[in-house]
């Protein structure tokens, strides 16, 4: 059965790569191959598990930053990389350590569907880990295939539905991996199998993004809500060079903001800057 699944998966991907109709292409032959992918930001803030904390509480006044890019390898096949880091920047008495950094390389292939409201279907595979060794006992990792449905309802309202699975679950089910090699086996209880991102594009300078996630658990609290608001700052000198600085604020409540503490409930308020290229 497992061999049949692999065969069908490979056959399906071969068919996708073989399609070369001009109307299905999402890229321009002359476009820059190296581009921004997800949000690039640097923010700091406050918050505890149950209530806000005042500034000066270095344990919770934590810096979060992210940079992300994608590179078109050939045709519509892209390589993406995103790093998200959590930095105890204000904890100067303890040499301002990094609490966690999550590294997320992926390969993905977008297909132009253009059947309302489905605009683009992306097929991908990704790895995410915090770069820790197994000996430390702090290693966390996720390996998963995914489908991303880009739903465009109108010019200002769109959604992304991401459906994914975990290779580790498959490997464990079919006895293809030793138990001592499995990490964070219960992570699906907190991350689930779907992410729904809703975007409100009110103008070129003002956007709201809401992420909803429900873990695969009967506990309704196991999941996450993340709200991001960005407002572009109209600085003509920078815009002339294609740099659009933005004010960015983010609220997170739930599980799984980072891999290290994926099974700990957290509330975080942060604000800072974001760059769009």
Label residue 135 by pLDDT band (50, 70, 90): confident
Averaged pLDDT score across all residues of the chain: 82
pLDDT digits (tens, 9 = 90+) for 159-195: 999 999 999 888 777 777 666 666 788 899 999 999 9
List of residues 6+ apart from 165 with CB closer than 8 A: 144, 145, 146, 193
Q: What is the pLDDT of residue 6?
A: 42
* C-alpha to C-alpha distances, 182 to 93, 125, 144, nearest whole angstrom: 36, 19, 14
Examine the pLDDT at 58 and tell me if it is beyond 90: no
Tell me which of 108 and 17 has the higher pLDDT. 108
What's the CATH code, domain 2-276? 2.40.230.10
CA–CA separation, 176 and 265 (whole Å): 32
Question: Hey, where are the domains in the chain?
Answer: 2-276
| pLDDT, position 180 | 63
274 contacts 41 by C-beta, under 8 angstroms: yes
């Amino acid at each position: 059965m497992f061999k049949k699944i692999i065969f069908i998966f490979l056959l399906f991907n071969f068919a996708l790569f073989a399609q070369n109709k001009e109307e299905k292409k999402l890229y321009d032959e002359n476009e820059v191959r190296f581009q921004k992918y997800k949000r690039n930001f640097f923010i700091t803030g406050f918050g505890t598990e149950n209530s806000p904390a005042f500034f000066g509480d270095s344990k919770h006044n934590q810096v979060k930053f992210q940079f992300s890019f994608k590179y078109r390898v050939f045709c519509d096949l892209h390589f993406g990389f995103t790093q998200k880091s959590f930095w105890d920047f204000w904890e100067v008495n303890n040499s301002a350590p990094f609490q966690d950094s999550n590294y997320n390389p992926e390969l993905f292939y977008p297909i132009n569907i253009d059947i309302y409201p489905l605009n683009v279907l992306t097929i991908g595979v990704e790895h995410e880990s915090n770069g820790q060794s197994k000996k430390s006992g702090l290693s966390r990792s996720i390996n998963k295939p995914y489908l991303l449905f880009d739903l465009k309802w109108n010019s200002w309202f769109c959604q992304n539905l991401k459906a994914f699975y975990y290779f580790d679950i498959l490997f464990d089910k079919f006895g293809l991996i030793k138990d001592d090699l499995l990490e964070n086996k219960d992570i699906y209880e907190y991350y689930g199998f779907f992410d729904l991102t809703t975007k409100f594009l009110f103008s070129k300078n003002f956007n709201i993004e809401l992420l909803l996630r429900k873990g695969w658990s009967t506990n309704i609290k196991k999941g996450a809500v993340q709200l991001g608001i960005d407002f572009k700052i109209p600085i003509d000198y920078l815009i002339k060079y294609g740099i659009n600085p933005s004010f960015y604020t983010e609220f997170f409540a739930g599980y799984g903001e980072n891999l290290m503490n994926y099974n700990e409930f957290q509330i975080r308020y942060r604000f800072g800057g974001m760059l769009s290229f």
